[in-house]
Amino acid sequence: MATDLTGRELFQVYGSSELVTAAQIAALSVGASGGYSSQAFVSTGLTGPLAALSSFMGWESASIGTKTQPIPASTGSLKLITVMDLLGTASLSAPINISPVSGSIIGPSSIYTPYGSLDLLDTLAGWVSK
């Protein structure tokens, strides 16, 4: 697969020495084999669109400051939402905060590390992150 690289979208996958692009990560995750049903990329601003259930949300915004990723209220669907810092700008002073429309998240609710990610599972107990 030929891809034009800008140099900023290379990522190392856990457990692998291979470097991949954000588009390749998303392409591997979306599909009928139980992966994500949708994907969105936030390229500007500090607030992302409301994430859909079973989605991959990639943050590519270079905007400076705390970013907010809204997610729907928990329904117990057992669907997954993954939020990832694709640009490497997340930090202790400028995290990506994940916030449900109502309710709370059991476990971490912010990404503080560059290129970090959080998986959120919609359970009967509410959103659970890992």
What span, in angstroms and rounded, lies between the C-alpha atoms of 125 and 106? 9
Give the pLDDT confidence of 74-113 residue by residue, as tens digits.
999 999 999 999 999 999 999 999 999 999 999 999 999 9
Contacts of 85 (CB under 8 A, 6+ apart): 59, 96, 111, 113, 114, 115, 116, 117
Structure tokens at 84: 């990832």
Looking at the predicted structure, is the pLDDT value of residue 37 above 60? yes
Contacts of 55 (CB under 8 A, 6+ apart): 36, 37, 38, 39, 40, 81, 82
Per-residue confidence (pLDDT) for residue 130, from 0 to 100: 87
What is the radius of gyration, based on Cα positions, of the chain? Answer: 14
Per-residue confidence (pLDDT) for residue 33, from 0 to 100: 46
- DSSP per-residue string spanning 23-34: HHHHHHHBSSSS
What domains are defined for the chain? 12-129 (2.60.120.640)
**Across the chain, what does the average pLDDT equal?**
84
Per-residue confidence (pLDDT) for residue 71, from 0 to 100: 98
Give the pLDDT confidence of 2-18 residue by residue, as tens digits.
455 454 555 554 444 55
pTM of structure: 0.75
